[in-house]
Amino acid sequence: MGLAGHTREDRAVHGNEETHPGLCLVRREHPSVIPHCGPHAKVHAMILHLALASDWAHAQASGHYRVSTLGRTLEQEGFIHASADLAQAQGVAARYYTTVTEPLLLLHIQEDLLGCPVKHETPAGSDETFPHIYGPIPVTAVTAVTPFQP
């Protein structure tokens, strides 16, 4: 159940009592949206980022991921682009990654492990809000890495 009794199954994955007692992994558009998963639930906001396999390999060696978007670093852009859910990541891939020949990965990032601010902002010319990560991503904040086909 989300705020005011609304269920957002597209944004929340609930573990069962046997495998994940009291755990609720949440993808959310805005930091104020926190669903209720039970009286003692731990809530972990998850955000997504498209990465080239070579960039992720470099991050694993260095301990931090610093690529903002295709061909641009955190230092150049000022933040790392991310997506609130799979639909946003697919839209980003369709707009910017169609010519990429290197394998793409989808990084699943646990927001509370980042150690830097995440701002949910609407880019100029868009009607969507995207999470922007204002610092490097520690590899320990990436809880899953999955292959991605645009």
Q: How confident is the model at residue 8 (pLDDT cuts 50, 70, 90)?
A: very low
Residues 15-63 pLDDT 10s = 433 443 443 344 444 443 444 445 554 456 899 999 999 999 999 999 9
- φ, ψ (nearest 5 deg) of residue 5: 80, 10
pLDDT at 125: 87
What residue ranges define each of the domains in the chain, with the CATH number in brackets? 46-148 (3.20.170.20)
Query: CA-to-CA distance for 48 and 40, rounded, in angstroms?
Result: 26
pLDDT at 52: 97
pLDDT at 44: 61
Pick the range with the lowest mean pLDDT from 12-16, 95-99, 143-147: 12-16
pLDDT at 126: 87
Query: CA-to-CA distance for 133 and 47, rounded, in angstroms?
Result: 10
**Count of positions (residues) in the chain:** 150
